């Protein structure tokens, strides 16, 4: 009987605790629902303009010019929310490991990615947003996943590009596997560390500038990249090739005698270079090492488009100028 007396109050306490937990859970659910409703209200104020065209027809190349023409500061392209020349939120679908994952990222199927972009849209609260897509259905899915209204204006690629321009864009996509992102190289470099970004063209333009040759047309603020899942293969460089390139570059830096040791650590967002050097006696070692860091970082990025996180330099030995090999 005593046991029953003890279990009776215990059961009552358990029931009360369960009721309290249910009350808190219900309240939290209600607050979350109210918060979602508030977010939907804010997002509903954004006017959406759709820019539609088949894959590889030059939408991203044209995006900046069209946005400027219609005074649109914000656009969404392949999973990225872009304001002017800067990436505000999102992860590029071109960085995905497979075509399927690329499509999922472009459509914001993942709730975490979608919520991240929704928060950014609420924070910046643009009056107008241009979304790039390959079809009407794709635009509908993006708007639904981001809680946006359906597009109020539709622009098709054939309205702003000639047949020849679209043909050339498709040929580049098919033969070279290159994609365009409407932001500058410096901004996209963090997102695409280690991927091909047309370094030869950039070197040619820099050479022309040094010779005083002006560009025929001002360069659009965009970057050409090759996605991870490209059927044309990945872009890579061996440690030995990197070492040889750095050793050649070091020959042009006063005060450096030789590259004794070299190592490269591959990180998520780029590489960390480690250089052990032999310096020439009589030079200011601190100034020489500082110049090595600056020049090597610039040269590696210019020639390979690999994002250099840092260049760690160390003076291992000092030799007289006459003792150089």
Q: Following CA atoms 144, 146, 149, 150 in sequence, which dihedral angle do they give, to the nearest 10 degrees? A: -50
C-alpha closest to that of 293 among 314, 271, 269, 316: 314
Same domain, 63 and 107: yes
The yes-or-no verdict on residue 131 having pLDDT over 90 is yes
Answer with the residue of higher pLDDT: 213 or 248. Answer: 248
100-110 pLDDT tens trace: 777 888 899 99
Residue 293's CATH number: 3.30.70.1350
pLDDT grade for 231, boundaries at 50, 70 and 90: very low
Domain assignment of residue 18, yes or no: no
What is the reported pTM?
0.49
Residues 263, 135 share a domain: no
Contact yes or no for 122/108 (Cβ under 8 A): no
Q: Which of 199, 225, 251 is the last residue of a domain?
A: 225
Give backbone dihedrals phi and psi of 21, rounded to 5 degrees, phi first: -60, -40
64 in a domain, yes or no? yes
For 43-80, how does the pLDDT look when each residue is reduced to its tens digit (9 = 90+)?
A: 999 999 999 888 777 677 777 778 888 888 899 988 88
Is 234 inside a domain boundary? no
Query: pLDDT of 139-180, one tens digit each?
Result: 999 999 999 999 999 988 888 776 666 566 555 555 545 555
Task: Note the pLDDT of residue 55.
Answer: 75
Helical (H) or strand (E) element with 82: strand 80-83
**Residue 244 pLDDT greater than 60, yes or no:** yes
Q: Annotate 248-265 with b (16+ C-beta within 10 A) or e (fewer).
A: ebbeebebbbbbeebebe
Read off the tokens for 140.
């509908």
Q: What is the pLDDT of residues 6-23, one digit of tens each?
A: 556 666 666 666 766 666
Separation CA 262–CA 33 (nearest Å)? 56
> Which single residue is written with the structure tokens 């659910």?
29
Do 53 and 165 lie in one domain? The reply is yes
Q: Is residue 177 in a domain? A: yes
Q: Domain check: are 191 and 293 in the same one?
A: no
Q: Provide the mean pLDDT of the chain.
A: 75
Q: For residue 145, what are the CA distances in angstroms to 43, 109, 270?
A: 12, 7, 32
Whether 176 and 247 map to the same domain: the answer is: no
19 φ, ψ to 5°?
Answer: -65, -40
Closest among 177, 189, 215 to 304, alpha carbons compared: 189
pLDDT, mean of residues 25-48? 74
Domain total of the chain: 2
Q: Is the domain of 212 the same as that of 266?
A: no
Q: Which residue has the higher pLDDT, 148 or 83?
A: 148
């Amino acid at each position: 009987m005593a046991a029953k007396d003890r279990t009776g109050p215990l059961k009552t306490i358990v029931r009360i605790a369960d009721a309290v937990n249910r009350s808190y859970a219900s309240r939290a659910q209600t607050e979350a629902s109210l918060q979602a409703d508030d977010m939907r209200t804010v997002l509903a104020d954004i006017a959406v303009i759709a820019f539609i065209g088949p894959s590889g027809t030059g939408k991203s190349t044209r995006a900046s010019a069209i946005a400027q023409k219609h005074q649109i500061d914000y656009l969404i392209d392949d999973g990225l929310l872009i304001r002017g020349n800067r990436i505000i939120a999102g992860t590029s679908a071109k960085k995905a490991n497979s075509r399927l994952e690329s499509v999922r990222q472009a459509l914001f199927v993942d709730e975490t990615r979608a919520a991240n972009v929704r928060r950014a849209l609420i924070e910046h609260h643009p009056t107008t947003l241009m979304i790039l897509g390959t079809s009407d259905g794709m635009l509908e899915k993006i708007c639904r996943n981001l809680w946006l209204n359906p597009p109020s204006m539709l622009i098709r690629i054939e309205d702003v590009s000639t047949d020849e321009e679209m043909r050339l864009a498709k040929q580049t996509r098919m033969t070279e596997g290159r994609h365009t992102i409407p932001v500058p190289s410096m901004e996209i470099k963090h997102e695409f560390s280690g991927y091909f970004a047309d370094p030869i063209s950039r070197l040619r333009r820099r050479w022309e500038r040094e010779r005083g040759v002006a560009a025929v047309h001002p360069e659009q603020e965009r970057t050409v990249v090759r996605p991870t899942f490209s059927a044309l293969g990945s872009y890579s460089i061996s440690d030995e090739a990197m070492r040889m390139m750095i050793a050649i570059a070091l020959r042009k830096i006063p005060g450096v005698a030789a590259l004794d040791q070299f190592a490269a650590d591959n990180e998520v967002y780029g590489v960390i270079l480690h250089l052990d050097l032999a310096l020439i006696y009589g030079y200011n070692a601190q100034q020489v090492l500082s110049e090595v860091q600056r020049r090597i970082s610039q040269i590696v990025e210019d020639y390979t488009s690999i994002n250099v996180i840092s260049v760690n330099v160390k003076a291992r030995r000092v030799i007289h100028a006459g003792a150089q090999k």
